[in-house]
Amino acid sequence: MAESDADKQRAPLKRAPRYCYPSTYSAKIPRQLQRDTSILSIPSDREELATLVTSLRRHLQRQERVGIRSLWGKGEAGQTNSVISENETQLSGTEGDLFSDSSATYKAKTLEELRTAIGDCQRCKLSSSRTHLVFGVGNPRATLMFIGEGPGRDEDLQGEPFVGRAGQLLTDIITKGMGLRREDVYIANVVKCRPPENRNPEPDEVASCEPFLKKQIDLVKPEIIIALGKFAVQTLLQTKAPITKLRGTWHAYHGIKLMPTFHPAYLLRNPGDKKLVWEDIKKVIKEMHGSNA
């Protein structure tokens, strides 16, 4: 590494303006469905349709809450909506009752409150085989957030993300590569419990757990996210594009700058690609220092 690069990395971090702003999200009922109410003349049918419309609105809101956004369009670079929309904290009545077990997570004002609200989570089948629920670790006001796929064996045993061999490599990237301390950044995973045999998390498991990650991001409010590995990148960006096409270029997750790169576990198997990760990390360092050089 050139001396000038090392000096740059040790320079104080400049905190740029936040990228998150309140969302203007609202559930919309398709116009065609609204028009169709006019052809119904029997009051009971209208009432039934009104019930269906209400159910549809609530269903779409629930889909949004678990990260399914295809009906609304996914976030684009430069978009400035909050990770958690205001509507998500304003649920009431029947829907609030249906989701009463998770409503506390949406009302959490701190990471500690969120962790307490998640509790001994049994919301998906990964709960049955875990040793520890691995919530996340680091600075609750970090500028930089790393997001991986899910806990491995070491993480499951210790209850902390990225503590095994891959975790040591990530720590080296943070400390030796970026000149930061591990406690300066925030580290989390898409799912909080270890998938058996380290398989990829399944869609229903991601749908159950992703709201917790979204809330973590909303509370930490990082300016930059580094997404580690194919699964985290594809989940956050809602894409099937290969990591080889996505890494090294800036993307956006709800208005937050996101840099995809390879997972440290992949680098342990493919050390020749460390130079590619270093290229990605250098772009993040440059962004954090506000340099156009």
CB of 126 to ligand SF4, least distance (A): 4
Question: Does position 127 bind ligand SF4 by CB under 6 A?
Answer: yes
d(CA 275, CA 259): 15
Question: Does position 193 bind ligand SF4 by CB under 6 A?
Answer: yes
Question: Does position 124 bind ligand SF4 by CB under 6 A?
Answer: yes
Question: Does position 208 bind ligand SF4 by CB under 6 A?
Answer: yes
CB of 259 to ligand SF4, least distance (A): 25
Nearer to ligand SF4, 192 or 247 (CB): 192
CA 68 to chain centre: 13
Question: Does position 259 bind ligand SF4 by CB under 6 A?
Answer: no
CB of 128 to ligand SF4, least distance (A): 8
Of 69-77, 96-104, 116-124, 264-272, which segment contacts ligand SF4 by CB under 6 A?
116-124
d(CA 180, CA 127): 33
For the chain, the first-to-last Cα distance in angstroms comes to 16
Among 91, 126, 178, 258, indicate the residue that binds ligand SF4 (CB under 6 A).
126
CA 287 to chain centre: 20
CB of 208 to ligand SF4, least distance (A): 4
Among 147, 163, 209, 277, indicate the residue that binds ligand SF4 (CB under 6 A).
209
CA 147 to chain centre: 7
CB of 121 to ligand SF4, least distance (A): 3
Question: Does position 134 bind ligand SF4 by CB under 6 A?
Answer: no
CB of 194 to ligand SF4, least distance (A): 9
Question: Does position 143 bind ligand SF4 by CB under 6 A?
Answer: no
Question: Does position 121 bind ligand SF4 by CB under 6 A?
Answer: yes
State the residues that interact with ligand SF4 by CB under 6 A.
Answer: 118, 121, 123-124, 126-127, 133, 191-193, 205, 208-209
